[in-house]
Amino acid sequence: MLKIDDMTMKFGGVIACNKFNANIEKGQVVGLIGPNGVGKTTVFNVVTGVYKPTEGQVIFNPKEGEEYLLTGLSPDEIAKLGVCRTFQNIRLFKELSVLDNVFIGNHLRIKSNVVSSILRLPSYRVEEKEMYEKSLYLLEKVGLKDSMDEKAYSLPYGMQRRLEIARALATEPKLLLLDEPAAGMNPQETRELMDFIQEIKEEFDLTIFLIEHHMEVVMGICEEILVLDHGVLIAQGNPEEIQEDQRVIEAYLGVE
């Protein structure tokens, strides 16, 4: 689904990521972990077109027989191919309603042009009705249909996270990147999030790549884990292998 080859990202004299490699298979939940400030979000920013890597390339294979070089594409072009993300700091349209936040995500797939939407031609009205129904469906799936008319900022923190994911799902992604989805959640919200991620993975046939500091989430739902330290991939494996890897223990706890 996603192949990252020798990706290096430099900011002046600072190397945020150095020769980073990853292969993510279709249908996997893959975690990217490491101490703060080691380059995890930089990896996401390169994959989604926020940054163009100094070296290396990112290749997206949404299905057999299709291959796209993401390197050099803009974020919207990458999203249209089926790669969408959420952010470490929630980025909702806070003054808009819950429904409108999800409705906006549908616009990536809209076929009508600006003129037909302004004049509200029949073709646009049909498409608008479909987007509305799709938005309601997604809100129901994430448990927010009863809150559809509320302002986004009025939702509890955990529900705002779900809303951001619902908006991402509206873009019809094949690969969903989640940047610290459990950040700021209490234990109950965290357990619900783990179940929620598994549910949407199956429901929407997703491949999921996530950054997370909450080890209960990482060890509980990830099939493969990548570990970064100072921009370098130091370990890769299943949860059991990562828990026992001495390099990972030293990266988190230091050397005695």
Do 201 and 229 sit in the same domain of this protein? yes
Q: How many helices (H) and strands (E) are present in the chain, helices listed first? A: 10, 10
Q: Are strands 2-11 and 55-60 parallel, antiparallel or unpaired?
A: antiparallel
Do 194 and 214 sit in the same domain of this protein? yes
Per-residue model confidence (pLDDT) at position 256: 60
Query: Which stretches of 61-170 are DSSP H helices?
Result: 75-81, 98-106, 114-118, 122-141, 157-169
Tell me if 165 is assigned to some domain: yes
10-residue averages of pLDDT along the chain (256 residues):
95 91 94 89 95 95 88 94 92 95 90 80 87 94 94 92 94 95 87 92 94 91 93 92 88 68
Looking at 147, 170, 193, the residue that finishes a domain is 170
Q: What's the structural domain count of the chain?
A: 2
Tell me if 19 is assigned to some domain: yes
Tell me if 88 is assigned to some domain: no
Do 77 and 121 sit in the same domain of this protein? no
Per-residue model confidence (pLDDT) at position 253: 67
Do 55 and 126 sit in the same domain of this protein? no
- For residues 7 and 17, the answer to whether their CB atoms sit within 8 Å is yes
Tell me if 94 is assigned to some domain: no
Tell me if 146 is assigned to some domain: yes
Per-residue model confidence (pLDDT) at position 127: 87
In angstroms, the Cα distances linking 45 to 30, 74, 166 are 17, 11, 20
Do 69 and 186 sit in the same domain of this protein? yes
Per-residue model confidence (pLDDT) at position 113: 79
Do 115 and 58 sit in the same domain of this protein? no
Do 194 and 243 sit in the same domain of this protein? yes
Tell me if 87 is assigned to some domain: no
Mention every residue, 6+ apart, whose C-beta is less than 8 A from residue 65.
Answer: none
Tell me if 16 is assigned to some domain: yes
Looking at 128, 144, 170, the residue that finishes a domain is 170
Do 236 and 215 sit in the same domain of this protein? yes
Dihedral, 162, 164, 165, 171 alpha carbons, nearest 10 = 150
Per-residue model confidence (pLDDT) at position 160: 93
**What is the domain extent for residue 64?**
2-82+173-253
Q: What is the CATH number of the domain that holds 218?
A: 3.40.50.300
SS3 at position 197: helix
pTM: 0.90
Looking at 170, 194, 217, the residue that finishes a domain is 170
Phi and psi at residue 4, to the nearest 5°: -110, 120
Tell me if 91 is assigned to some domain: no
Per-residue model confidence (pLDDT) at position 186: 87
Do 48 and 11 sit in the same domain of this protein? yes
Do 179 and 248 sit in the same domain of this protein? yes
Do 7 and 134 sit in the same domain of this protein? no
How far is 178 from 181, CA to CA, in rounded Å?
A: 6
Per-residue model confidence (pLDDT) at position 249: 85
Do 20 and 130 sit in the same domain of this protein? no
